[in-house]
Amino acid sequence: MDDKTRKIARRLANKMIKEVGPAVREYAGTELAGAEVKTGADGTPTSFIDQIAEEKIVTILKNADVYSYLVSEEIGEVKLGKGKNRKVNLIQELKRTDLDEEETPKFIFLIDPVDGTTNATKEIPAYAISIAVAEVNQGRAATINDVELGFLYNLANGNFFEAEKGKGCRLNNEKVEPSKVIKINQMTLGGFTKSGTSEASKLVDSARRMRVLGSVALELSYVASGKYDAFLDLRGSRIIDIAAGKLIVEEAGGIITDKYGQKLNNVLSIYEKAIVVAANNEIMHKQMIDILNDNQADIIGKIGIISRIDQTPPIVFAAKIIDYLLTNGREVIIENQLVHELVKLKENPDLNNIIQESKEKYPEIAPMLDDINFNIDYEKISMNLYDFDCDMALILGGDGTLLRAHNKMQNNIPLFGINMGTVGFLTEIEVKHTFEALEEIMKGEYYKEKRTRLIVSHENHNFKAMNEVVVMTDKPAKMLHFQILVDGEIIEEVRADGLIISTPSGSTAYSMSAGGPIVDPKVAGFIINPICPYKLGARPFVVSDNSEITVKLLKKGKNAVFVMDGQINEEAKYEEEIKFKKSPKDALFIRTSTKYFYEKVKDKLNEGGIKKSS
């Protein structure tokens, strides 16, 4: 956005503030202010005071001599300017390439005309107009990171915040910065915490004081100016509420992310929401993220090593890792199958050539395979995988190796996957980053991510699965007849080649290949996906992970097998029931990267799981 364009945006924003202020204050505290007049475009009730404020904004942008897109809670998404007012779908509109320069809007305005409507209706002095401005980049959807200007005007007391990307934040034309507080027990915390989690309660209990003002945009500005030390909204704030506040916080020097510490990158849309965690500095922010995710990093002192053993390079690399960990004072245990292969390598007279072949096959790890110390008594630290008891299980391989380890370990040990497989969607890092990641972990610079697991019950036996359970015929090319119940209610009877019950983690595996949806691991649900159903209307279901799913076989004389994570096979017969419910214990992953789930989807799945040749 050049200087001339910024000047136009500021002029329009200032005009909005100048006209909305008196109109809102005229009705603040009156009975008419809170009268519900309609339902807004975002599905929430529209009060009279919201409507009069938005009408002022729409009139200003409609009569402007430039076109703009407006996203506002009552009117939704519209294109305004030069006397015109037209409804649009912003995401689709931005992807158009057929608009000439004169018809292309200059700005996207994201506006909450009155953030804190209830406060305004009751004349509680905490309500504001929030205006964020992004430049239009035709040909692609815009995200919250495209916002370049943010304005926030407290309609109750006249305080005015203004932020420009890369140029800081000002309050009433004076530069502001966040507080210097770094201790949780000295923190003033604002926001909304109705998440139903013990972690959120723990964070609130840890704070020195808690404030709930009912105005997201205004409270974010308090983090920027040091009145608050932190703010969070675990319900999910609308993008129009946080777009200006995000820029104000960041330009003041604060930090704002989602609950998992990942940068916000939501698309600009009336329907978009984001969970928000904002803090005055990195130290405070990390403590909040750790508490919210129950991630307080423990010292990793004892590490279990598991590897795929069908190829030599992972075994060779495992030897290097074992030597590294022992040299750095960590206690190590090794899966006994891997120990068997390590001992064979150690005793092989052709070991040097084997190492050289591994370097050639995996050139990305070649520099790390120099000076491997095989002078280790591997058998002394050998252990059956079922008996593993350690602080972290390090797994060399792909998703299959990781799932095998997870299914065989009795204890719920945090998993750290290093990809030496085909896709490695569940793994944390690519192999070339191994030692820098291990260094971070040993310094305590990691967090634990929780993933939902399934408990599968059949004939008084229980099994566990992290990705999926596949129910299929025990005879090739034969169909099964299933009855599917959710919490006792029949949702489908279907003939199909099989059935997949998947967790969100497994949504990128077999379920996806069978036409199921990709589901963010943070979604609390399970996917029920028929395989090749003989019925046009049989589609995948996503159900709550608090539900119990029951699958019953209806065809007499036909047996089925059900397979957990491709690892454990069991047989089910006619009229037998297989029940699925959420495990009381989540799977735990050691994470060093904040790479967002959707980026990983694109990285891992663009090539259909096939690595590009170098």
Q: Is 611 a domain residue?
A: no
Q: What CATH number does residue 334 fall under? A: 3.40.50.10330
Which band of pLDDT confidence, cut at 50, 70 and 90, is reported for residue 612?
very low
173: pLDDT strictly greater than 90: yes
Task: Print burial letters for 279-288: b (CB count within 10 Å at least 16), e (below 16).
Answer: bbbeebbbbb
Sort 276 into a burial class: Cβ within 10 Å, 0-12 / 13-18 / 19+.
buried
- 344 three-class SS: helix
Cβ–Cβ contacts within 10 Å for residue 375, how many?
Answer: 7
Q: What CATH number does residue 564 fall under? A: 2.60.200.30
Q: Are 255 and 276 in contact (CB under 8 A)?
A: no
Q: Are 530 and 489 in contact (CB under 8 A)?
A: no
Q: What average pLDDT does the structure give for the chain?
A: 91
Q: Are 334 and 378 in contact (CB under 8 A)?
A: yes
Structure tokens at 196: 């139903």
Q: Are residues 473 and 578 in the same domain?
A: yes
Q: Are residues 459 and 577 in the same domain?
A: yes
Give bridge partners of residue 333 from the DSSP assignment: 304
Count the alpha carbons within 13 Å of 85 in the hemisphere toward its beta carbon.
11
Rounded average pLDDT over 108-132: 94
End-to-end Cα separation, the chain, in angstroms: 40
Q: Are residues 426 and 485 in the same domain?
A: no
Structure tokens at 197: 């989690």
Q: Are 260 and 289 in contact (CB under 8 A)?
A: yes
Last residue of a domain, one of 296, 319, 348: 296
607: pLDDT strictly greater than 70: no
Q: Are residues 77 and 145 in the same domain?
A: yes
Q: For the ranges 214-223, 480-489, 594-603, which has the lowest average pLDDT?
A: 594-603
197: pLDDT strictly greater than 70: no
Q: Is 613 a domain residue?
A: no
Q: List, in order, residues 6 or more apart from 120 with CB less than 8 Å away.
A: 24, 28, 29, 33, 49, 114, 127, 155, 156
Q: Are residues 106 and 234 in the same domain?
A: yes
Instruction: Report the alpha-carbon distance of residue 150 to residue 112 in Å, rounded.
Output: 12
The pLDDT value recorded for residue 596 is 61
**494-515 pLDDT per residue, tens:** 999 999 999 999 999 999 999 9
At 116, the amino acid letter reads: G
At 562, the amino acid letter reads: F
Q: Is 610 a domain residue?
A: no
**263-301 pLDDT per residue, tens:** 998 999 998 999 999 999 999 998 898 888 776 557 788
The pLDDT value recorded for residue 606 is 65
* Radius of gyration, CA atoms only, the chain: 28
Segments in 63-167 forming alpha helices (H): 90-94, 117-121
Q: Are residues 192 and 310 in the same domain?
A: no
Instruction: Report the alpha-carbon distance of residue 491 to residue 75 in Å, rounded.
Output: 38
Q: Is 612 a domain residue?
A: no
Q: Are residues 166 and 22 in the same domain?
A: yes
The pLDDT value recorded for residue 140 is 87
Instruction: Report the alpha-carbon distance of residue 512 to residue 41 in Å, rounded.
Output: 33
Task: Print burial letters for 337-354: b (CB count within 10 Å at least 16), e (below 16).
Answer: ebbebbeebeeeeeeeee
Q: What CATH number does residue 148 fall under? A: 3.30.540.10
Q: Are residues 341 and 446 in the same domain?
A: yes
Q: Structural domain of residue 53, as residue ranges? A: 1-296
Instruction: Report the alpha-carbon distance of residue 596 to residue 90 in Å, rounded.
Output: 24
Q: What is the DSSP letter of 366?
A: G
Q: For the ranges 16-30, 176-190, 192-206, 438-452, which has the lowest average pLDDT?
A: 192-206
145: pLDDT strictly greater than 70: yes
Q: Is 285 a domain residue?
A: yes
343: pLDDT strictly greater than 70: yes
Q: Are residues 177 and 228 in the same domain?
A: yes
The pLDDT value recorded for residue 138 is 74
Q: Are residues 401 and 494 in the same domain?
A: no
The pLDDT value recorded for residue 595 is 62
Enzyme catalytic residues: 399
Cβ–Cβ contacts within 10 Å for residue 428, how many?
Answer: 24
The pLDDT value recorded for residue 614 is 35
Rounded average pLDDT over 127-149: 92
Last residue of a domain, one of 276, 296, 316: 296
Structure tokens at 299: 């010292």
Which band of pLDDT confidence, cut at 50, 70 and 90, is reported for residue 244?
very high
Q: Are 342 and 382 in contact (CB under 8 A)?
A: no
Q: Are residues 528 and 419 in the same domain?
A: no
Q: Are residues 410 and 486 in the same domain?
A: no
Q: Are 270 and 42 in contact (CB under 8 A)?
A: yes
pTM: 0.61
Segments in 364-461 forming alpha helices (H): 399-408, 434-442
613: pLDDT strictly greater than 50: no
User: Per the structure, how many domains does the chain have?
Assistant: 3
Last residue of a domain, one of 281, 296, 311: 296
Q: Are 284 and 184 in contact (CB under 8 A)?
A: yes
